[in-house]
Amino acid sequence: MKNIKLLLFILITVMCCQPLMICAEENEVKTGKSNFSKSFQKKFGNRPIAVRQKLSNNRISGYFPNSRTAEKSAERFYKTLDYLPENLIRKSKLKYVTFLRDLKLNGQYAGGVASGNTIYLPVDFTTKTVFHEFFHIFDPKSKDKKWCDLNEKKFIYTGSKFYKVEMNSKDKRQVKKNKRNNDIRDDFVSEYAMSFEHEDRAETFAYMIVEGKKFLKRTKNPVMKAKMEYIMALFIERNLLNQEFWDKHFDSKFRVKKRHYSTDEKENISSASQQNKE
């Protein structure tokens, strides 16, 4: 009889502890301790941008996906970014990409965030977001008078849900007028581009890449044409995206191409040097 009671006690104890063990496994996923498979490391381990499941900015929050989901997101990310020349990627100062569920910036849901040398992306990120956040890393300017001078004199950047802009009553009235003015709205690729000048540049670059030949229709607007030429010149002057790249890009539809990075560091340096000469 005593043995039966002891056996029942053990069974009840095991059953009660089982949910706690499941919770512990879920918490490990949330802490981001993703152990990527050996095949993933072999396939993507030599990339100039590494997957790092770590939060290094306290304004950013979210949940880390399990390793399988993170690997799928990584494959999409690399395939998308492979459209750009390797030389540009290596010189962009972008070192890491982090994938999150329910990505938030300052408590607000975000499509992507660039911070320091890292891009944070939701697991269901869009292609445009990758290029948008990449541009922030490449060109982290917050104020550029030359860019602002391309806009209409009465235009005022509105701020966003992530960062507010202090405006007096006169500025607020002007912002409302601008939003109703189709001519001014056509000077921007999206409504979010109207929030800050650095967001305007990042959005313009992202649309230039994703839309390809289709983007040229926007340049019937003189302001959009000037912004396109500004972005192109920015890369050409730094010997990162030459005129040949842009000519080829705008002569066809945007297509992602698969590129294999060399594991030989010397070969990478030689390749980058040759691209600079071109």
Domains of the chain by residue range: 42-138, 142-255
Percentage of the chain lying above the pLDDT 70 cut: 76
Examine the pLDDT at 243 and tell me if it is beyond 80: yes
**94 pLDDT higher than 90:** yes
CA 166, distance to chain mean position in Å, is 27
Count CB atoms within 10 A of the CB of residue 170: 9
* Token representation of residue 233: 């010149």
Global pTM value: 0.77
Averaged pLDDT, 19-28: 30
Round to the nearest angstrom and report the end-to-end CA distance of the chain: 88
What is the mean pLDDT of the segment spanning 68-83? 92
CB of 198 within 8 A of CB of 136? yes
Does the structure show a pLDDT above 90 at 92?
A: no
| Res 267: pLDDT | 37
Residue 151 has pLDDT above 60, yes or no: yes
Q: Which of 27-31, 52-56, 223-227 has the lowest mean pLDDT?
A: 27-31
Residue 75 reports pLDDT greater than 60: yes
> Whose CA is closest to 91, among 134, 50, 31, 133?
134
| Confidence band, pLDDT 50/70/90 cuts, at residue 140 | low
Q: Does 181 have pLDDT greater than 50? A: yes
Run of H or E residues at 122: strand 118-122
pLDDT confidence of residue 178: 74
